[in-house]
Amino acid sequence: MTFGFTPSSAASTSSPAELSAASANPLARMLEPAEWAAAGIPLLRNPRQVVSGLHSRHRPGPATAILAVLDPDERLLASASFTRRQAPADGWMFRNSLLAQLRRVIPHDLRRRTPVRTAVLLYCREGDARWTQEDGAWMWGLRDACTLHGLRCGAYITLTRDGWQVLGEGRGGRRPNSHSAPEPFALSEAPPPLPRTGGAVSEVLRRAAAR
């Protein structure tokens, strides 16, 4: 699912005074890798599978953000991709855009005491894999959008010509990268294993799989 980069309803209902105050200091609305790592962001069990799956689904180009919501078993529940317009990096504006995408693709979990679904963000950009202020603004925006939508804040991943990297964790790989062709979808998401049962049921499953 692909959407345009548009202001959220939160931004459109803010008063001029609130907008002015929020725009006063964009540099305050970003997180550095050390701050991100200290925030206790949950680790992905298989980051390459998540990255490859999103890359195959959305085929991102530079300045494309992919927002995905995962269940507790890291199965993809919903995702949206959108292109960032040219403007100064500002975590507050990124937050509003991410929140708008979340509201379109999945209901909020604000009534739950503890979030069970996790949002992760994959951002394809130019340059190398080193952290930038733009990355810091996306991190701030993702964390805030997750809080407002009742989700766990998950990984922030960059996709560059060097490959992919989970910021704040030091995990990454060379493929996929911002110039690579998407992998066949079957390779990016492994099928669920057949139930391990014995007797006649197992024989039926074996024959069905062989057809």
pLDDT tens digits for range 146-204 = 999 999 999 999 999 999 999 988 899 999 999 888 877 543 444 444 434 444 444 44
Band the pLDDT of 55: cuts 50, 70, 90.
Answer: very high
What are the residue boundaries of the structural domains of the chain, listed by start? 9-210
- Integer Cα distance of 190 and 159 in angstroms: 22
Each residue of 82-114: pLDDT tens digit? 998 888 889 999 999 999 999 999 999 998 889
For 126-136, the pLDDT digits (tens) are 998 899 999 99
DSSP structure string for the chain: -B------HHHHTS-HHHHHHHTS-GGGS---HHHHHHTTPPPPSSHHHHHHHHHHHH---TTEEEEEEE-TT--EEEEEEEEPPSS---HHHHHHHHHHHHHHHS---TTSSS---EEEEEEE-SS-SS--HHHHHHHHHHHHHHHHHT-EEEEEEEEETTEEEETTTTEEESSS-TTSPPPPHHHHSPPPPPP---HHHHHHHHHHHH-
Identify the band that residue 24 occupies on the pLDDT scale cut at 50, 70 and 90. Answer: low
Task: Note the CATH number of domain 9-210.
Answer: 3.40.140.10
